[in-house]
């Protein structure tokens, strides 16, 4: 299934080489790790609206607004930083293409923004994921929901090497791809959640690991930010508002500055 043995061997070999070459996952220039390119990914979009709030807010629209605001804030604070968007309109982009966009542009960091969903309408809070093994059934369920979009893609089984979005084993096996960048991914994810809690007093479920296709094949530190539960009426109001979107974007941008300063010192 899904070329598991072959993939794992290649993954760990690549991970070892990349880690030995540059522990933080960045190319070194003049003895320093430089973050020059950031790829921003607005989850879902187009024919894939993502989850929906009780008042009709679509995840794909909310994430796009947050990502565009984040891009503006990053550019204002770091004029020399190159910002790449996987999409800047309400369009459908296949998950593998999102990673390919980041890889083609040699991004130093990949940030994917999403909204969470739950059957419990009272569920609220943020969480930021890195690629890795599932620690709980809840993590796996989030990954399955976000990955199910590939069912809308043509020839998805061929594109993703026979990956089955409903198979727990498939998610676990693919989690090893990001092993070379795990430390840096966790570092940035931690800073994002810290900003949500300390600056904006939001409930945080912390940094978690799960197998997300959108960050599976990215060749750089990568995170997936669940900015809140769109299925909660109060969180929907917050995430759909300009103030809420600005606060989320500011939290991530502030985390980025802290991360960049630490990486480049």
Calculate the alpha carbon distances from 177 to 9, 181, 190, 239 in Å.
10, 9, 20, 31
Tens digits of residue pLDDT in 255-264: 999 999 999 9
Q: Is the pLDDT of residue 133 over 70?
A: no
Nearest-angstrom CA–CA distance, 81 and 70: 13
CATH 3.90.650.10, applies to 4-15+35-264? no
Tens digits of residue pLDDT in 203-242: 999 999 887 878 877 889 999 999 999 999 999 999 999 9
**CA end-to-end span of the chain:** 44
81 CB neighbour count, 10 Å cutoff: 18
* pTM value > 0.85: no
Residue 246 has which token pair? 């600005």
SS3 of the chain: the string is CCCHHHHHHHHHHHHHHHHHHCCCCCCEECCEECCCEEEEEECCECCECCCECCCCCEHHHHHHHHHHHHHHHHHHHCCCCEEEECCCCCCCCCHHHHHHHHHHCCCCEEEEEEEECCCCCCCCCEEEEEECCCCCHHHHHHHHHHHHHHHHCCCHHHHCCCCCCCCHHHHHHHHHHHHHHHHHHHHHHHHHHHHHHHCCCCCEEEEEEECCHHHCCCCCCEEEEEEEECCCHHHHHHHHCHHHHHHHHHHHHHHHHHHHHHHHC
Tens digits of residue pLDDT in 94-121: 988 998 999 999 999 999 999 999 999 9
Tell me the pLDDT band of 154, cut-offs 50, 70 and 90. Answer: low
């Amino acid at each position: 299934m899904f070329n598991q043995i072959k993939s794992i061997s290649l993954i760990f070999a690549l991970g070892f080489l990349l880690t030995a070459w540059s522990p933080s996952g960045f190319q070194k220039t003049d003895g320093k790790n430089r973050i020059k390119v950031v790829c921003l990914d607005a989850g879902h979009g187009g024919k894939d609206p993502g989850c929906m709030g009780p008042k009709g807010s679509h995840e794909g629209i909310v994430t796009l607004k947050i990502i565009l605001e984040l891009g503006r804030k990053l550019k204002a604070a770091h004029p020399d930083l190159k910002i790449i968007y996987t999409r800047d309109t309400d369009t459908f982009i296949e998950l593998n293409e999102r990673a390919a966009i980041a890889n083609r542009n040699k991004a130093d960091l990949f940030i994917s923004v999403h909204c969470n969903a739950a059957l419990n309408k009272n569920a609220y809070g943020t969480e930021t994921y890195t690629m890795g093994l599932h620690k709980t059934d809840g993590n796996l369920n989030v990954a399955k929901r976000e990955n199910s979009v590939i069912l809308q893609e043509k020839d998805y089984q061929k594109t993703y090497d026979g990956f089955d979005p409903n198979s727990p084993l498939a998610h676990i096996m693919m989690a090893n791809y990001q092993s070379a960048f795990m430390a840096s991914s966790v570092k940035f994810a931690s800073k994002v959640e810290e900003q949500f809690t300390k600056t904006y007093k939001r409930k945080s479920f912390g940094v978690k690991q799960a197998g997300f296709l959108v960050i599976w094949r990215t060749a750089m530190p990568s995170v997936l930010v669940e900015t809140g539960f769109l299925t909660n009426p109060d969180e929907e109001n917050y995430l759909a508002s300009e103030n809420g979107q600005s606060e989320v974007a500011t939290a991530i941008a502030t985390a980025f500055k802290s991360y960049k300063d630490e990486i480049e010192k």
